[in-house]
Amino acid sequence: MTDVQTPTPPAPPVAVADRDSAALTLVRAFADRGTTHFTGVPCSLLKGVFRALEAGTGPAAGLSYFPAPREDSAVGVAAGLAAAGARPAVLMQNSGLGYSLNVLTSLNLIYDLHVPLVVSWRGHDAGDAVEHDIIGRELLNLLDVFGLRHTVFDPEDAYASVERCLDAADDGRTTPVLVVKEGI
Amino acid sequence: MFGIQDAIRAVTEKYPTSLTVSTCGFITRDLYNTVDRPENFYLVGSMGMAAPVGLGVALAAPRRHVVVLDGDGSFAMNPGALPMIAEHAPDLVHVVLDNGVHESTGGQRPVRVADPAGLALAAGYAAAHTVTSAAELAAVRTEPGVTSLIHISCAPRGAHAGKRVEWTPQQMVERFRAAAAA
């Protein structure tokens, strides 16, 4: 027996352009706030952001982007950039936050070199791949333990999300973290 | 054999105006006690990060020459940073002070990198040198504008390093940022 289903109108296609626009808006918001350099390690949830930065066009024009081999080294390079007067930001999957904790706690946080982090949130609900279960479950707790001020990115309100995130750390004594749950 | 503290002094005399990033532990303390200047950025933690931090400094201050003071232990901790540095070809000299021990933690044996100079070249550094004496170090002419590594084989201190850095991290950043912009 087959279920009789009411025909439903086809869902509006999720246009690539729509997904890109949240990513491009994110980049634009950072650029407008003075970010000069991006580095980091990719995550599939941040694909659109990396695509924009690699292309270096549109809102990413004039921004410097370069890949890092590991998230802790990305945070280290960003600390050096910030120490010498630039305005970097770091992109990573939440798995990379673990690698980064020593650099954050023994360099960025104690020198007040507060580099914004854009951290994807794999494993935020059950059903993601098993390697994301624990870090996904504990991500916000982990950020709280180290006083890393987090804002969950809203793709529908991308520009304001970034502004809220950076405003929350406007005192220059806090590292802001933009947490990205959905692929953008 | 070349003592590590003499090697640190020789490097600071060779590059007296360069922005200099030192790895944590005794190397930071020796640099501070040898010649404390605003151009020095002392890492007090984050072992393995002196070279990435040096790259960041070089990218933010492209008109300045940058020196990284690494140890053999901290170099072995983060060879993954080498190709990232090489990719940008910064005006940077990466010094590896190889005394063969983790001296600040009691003289334990580190992982040995057989050939730091060869590793740097394989990662894409334009030049690399290995020296074992003050005279050999003095003879090295690093080419301006290129990325090079100097592996200095030297002797442990056999003594305690000098006092800890007395600047707060925030003071260090403030004076370093001003020096980098000068």
Q: Which residues of chain B have pLDDT under 50?
A: none
Rg of chain B, C-alpha, whole Å: 15
In this complex, do A84 and B173 lie within 8 Å of one another by their Cβ atoms?
Answer: no
Residue in A103, A109, A71, A104 with CA at minimum distance from that of residue A90: A71
User: Can you give the CATH number for the domain in which B94 is found?
Assistant: 3.40.50.970
Number of folded domains that form chain B: 1
**Which class does domain A35-180 fall in?**
alpha beta
Mean confidence (pLDDT) of chain A: 92
pLDDT per residue over A3-34, tens digit each? Answer: 445 555 555 544 444 445 899 999 999 999 99
- The pLDDT of residue B161 is 87
In this complex, do A80 and B19 lie within 8 Å of one another by their Cβ atoms?
Answer: no
- The pLDDT of residue A152 is 98
In this complex, do A103 and B56 lie within 8 Å of one another by their Cβ atoms?
Answer: no
User: How distant is the Cα of B46 from the closest Cα of chain A, in angstroms?
Assistant: 5
CB B19, CB B64: distance < 8 Å: yes
B80–A contact, CB cutoff 8 A: yes
In this complex, do A85 and B61 lie within 8 Å of one another by their Cβ atoms?
Answer: yes
* Residue B148 bridge partners (DSSP): B93, B127
CB B173, CB B180: distance < 8 Å: no
CA pair distance B151, B168, nearest whole angstrom: 30
Domain that holds residue B120: 4-181
pLDDT per residue over A60-114, tens digit each? Answer: 999 999 999 999 999 999 999 999 999 999 999 999 999 999 999 999 999 999 9
Read off the pLDDT of each residue in A137-148 and give the average, rounded to a whole number. 98
Q: Which residue has the higher pLDDT, A171 or A176?
A: A176
Q: What is the pTM of this model?
A: 0.94
Q: Please state the domain extents for chain A.
A: 35-180
- The pLDDT of residue B1 is 77
- The pLDDT of residue A10 is 55
